[in-house]
């Protein structure tokens, strides 16, 4: 059942009307949800199109779904991925040591806190008030740590004003892999400014548009990810709210992200802008990220990558091989639906998260089972590694599968096949 989403007539960032389509993924099911057979016939599908704003250089999904449909009951849990647990432990230590001379008297808010993978190490470091905000009731109900205050809601300007009235301003506001998910980005940016103290810092991580383009990471594109950020676009956005990006760090998570540091224009950090900020802006300008042609060219290359992957899968199936997918995620569902992968190509999906076992993927309706199958006599000949951005971690888990003759297909950045002969070349942890 296909439905019409809300179609934006104006840019979500600047309200401009000079928008142009650069990619069309067709009519697809929502990538972040997983379903049961009783829901197959009533499953909703929506158009997924990417537009570029010529006025402010922002890249965005023009077909928007109600946030309640996307995030109120959420499957993704950061703590199920060991790499992310380590990453956020280091992250917590860095921001506390850099910005909080007296942690016990500080207040930190993280919106889109998920299962508390960052909140727990912040509490471990003795931060006085650790606050997590998230609308996913099913996930926040699982958190049981009396050191952390949880607000089960969307982060909005109204909520920020209420928080300030009852609890005061925050020293740090954090948001990780969530700033691209927000339907009303203008409201949330006002909320950030409202809740931050004058010298407070907003720190957020988001997938980097430059990595998406350079490495053909079209799997990052789905309804939940409403925006695809360049630094050029972000600087213009924050400037509208009297804020500035004063530092940034490239981080490896999710195939390549950026950690941005944002302050108010009258902050002590406003005149301490790291030269890396201007350098990256110049690099993006030279690559044409301020022009639609860069994204139209990207779309053409993505089509070629799709053809390459489907030719490989079709050949392997014609030779009698069994193939399973590994990593039932939103990114996997984008590849599956965009490429037209069906049960003819993949017999089932494998995932490490117990919360997904027994469900089916949206759109393609592939059954999800545990990774125990890789140790059994029913192990597939190949696994298609949708969670390719965690390659080292998953290869380590699958080393016995490889040594027993199994093979792993990596779809991105380049289509390749890994065999037991490659084990010695990989950095396994």
- Name the helix (H) or strand (E) containing 212: helix 209-214
pLDDT digits 0-9 by tens, 58-80: 999 998 887 655 555 555 566 66
Q: For the ranges 142-151, 166-175, 290-299, 341-350, which has the lowest average pLDDT?
A: 142-151
Q: Which domain holds residue 137?
A: 78-287
CB 80 within 8 A of CB 102: no
Task: Reduce the DSSP state of residue 214 to 3 states and report it.
Answer: helix
pLDDT at position 401 over 60: yes
List of residues 6+ apart from 77 with CB closer than 8 A? 114, 115, 139, 353, 355
Q: Are residues 130 and 251 in the same domain?
A: yes
- CATH of residue 323: 3.40.50.720
Half-sphere exposure of 67 (CA within 13 A, CB side): 16
Looking at 287, 303, 319, the residue that finishes a domain is: 287
pLDDT digits 0-9 by tens, 132-147: 999 988 888 888 788 9
Long-range pairs for 387-391 at CB < 8 Å and ≥24 separation?
A: 387/326, 387/327, 387/329, 387/331, 387/332, 388/255, 388/327, 388/412, 389/253, 389/254, 389/255, 389/331, 390/81, 390/83, 390/327, 391/426
- Structural domain total, the chain: 2
Phi, psi of 48 (to 5 degrees): -135, 105
Strands 323-326 and 382-385: parallel
Q: How far apart are the C-alpha atoms of 163 and 121, rounded to whole Å?
A: 23
Q: Are residues 258 and 390 in the same domain?
A: no
Q: Flag whether 6 is in a domain.
A: no
Task: Reduce the DSSP state of residue 63 to 3 states and report it.
Answer: strand
Residue-level pLDDT at 387: 93
List of residues 6+ apart from 146 with CB closer than 8 A? none
Residue-level pLDDT at 5: 60
pLDDT at position 9 over 90: no
Which region, left, alpha or beta, applies to residue 385 given φ > 0 means left and ψ of -120 to 50 means alpha?
Answer: beta
Instruction: Count CB-CB contacts under 10 A for residue 123.
Output: 19
How much is the average pLDDT of 270-274?
Answer: 96
Q: For the ranges 26-40, 136-150, 378-392, 402-416, which has the lowest average pLDDT?
A: 136-150
Q: Are residues 149 and 189 in the same domain?
A: yes
């Amino acid at each position: 059942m296909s439905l019409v989403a809300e179609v934006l007539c104006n840019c979500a960032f600047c309200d401009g009307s000079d928008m142009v389509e650069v990619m069309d993924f067709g009519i697809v099911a929502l990538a972040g949800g997983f379903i049961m057979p009783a829901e197959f016939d009533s499953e909703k599908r929506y158009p997924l199109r990417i537009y570029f704003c010529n006025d402010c250089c922002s890249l965005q999904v023009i077909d928007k779904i109600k946030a309640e449909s996307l995030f109120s009951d959420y499957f993704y849990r950061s703590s199920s991925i060991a790499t992310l647990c380590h990453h956020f432990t280091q992250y917590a230590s860095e921001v506390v040591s850099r910005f909080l001379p007296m942690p016990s008297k500080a207040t930190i808010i993280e919106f889109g806190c998920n299962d508390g993978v960052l909140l727990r190490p912040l509490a471990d470091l003795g931060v006085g008030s650790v606050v997590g905000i998230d609308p996913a009731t099913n996930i926040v109900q699982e958190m049981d740590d009396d050191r952390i205050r949880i607000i089960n809601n969307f982060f909005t300007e109204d909520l920020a004003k209420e928080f300030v009235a009852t609890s005061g301003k925050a020293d740090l506001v954090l948001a990780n892999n969530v700033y691209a998910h927000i339907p009303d980005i203008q409201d949330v940016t006002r909320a950030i400014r409202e809740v931050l103290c004058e010298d407070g810092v907003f720190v957020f991580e988001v997938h980097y548009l430059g990595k998406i383009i350079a490495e053909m990471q079209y799997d990052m594109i789905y309804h939940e990810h409403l925006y695809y950020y360049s630094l050029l676009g972000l600087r213009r956005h924050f400037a509208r709210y009297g804020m500035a990006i004063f530092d940034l760090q490239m981080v490896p998570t999710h195939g390549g992200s950026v950690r941005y540091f944002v302050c108010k224009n009258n902050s002590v950090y406003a005149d301490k802008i790291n030269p890396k900020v201007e350098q990256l802006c110049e690099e993006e300008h030279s690559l044409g990220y301020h022009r639609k042609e860069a994204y139209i060219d990207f779309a053409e290359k993505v089509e070629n990558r799709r053809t390459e992957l489907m030719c490989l899968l079709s050949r392997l199936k014609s030779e009698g091989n069994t193939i399973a997918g590994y990593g039932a995620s939103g990114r996997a569902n984008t590849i599956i639906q965009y490429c037209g992968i069906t049960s003819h190509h993949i017999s089932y999906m494998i995932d490490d998260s117990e919360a997904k076992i027994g469900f089916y993927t949206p759109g393609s309706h592939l059954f999800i089972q545990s990774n125990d199958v890789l140790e059994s006599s029913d192990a597939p000949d190949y696994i298609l590694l949708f969670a390719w951005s965690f390659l080292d971690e998953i290869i380590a888990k699958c080393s016995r599968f490889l040594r027993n003759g199994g093979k792993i297909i990596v779809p991105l950045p380049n289509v390749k096949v890994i065999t037991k002969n490659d084990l010695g070349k990989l950095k396994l942890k």
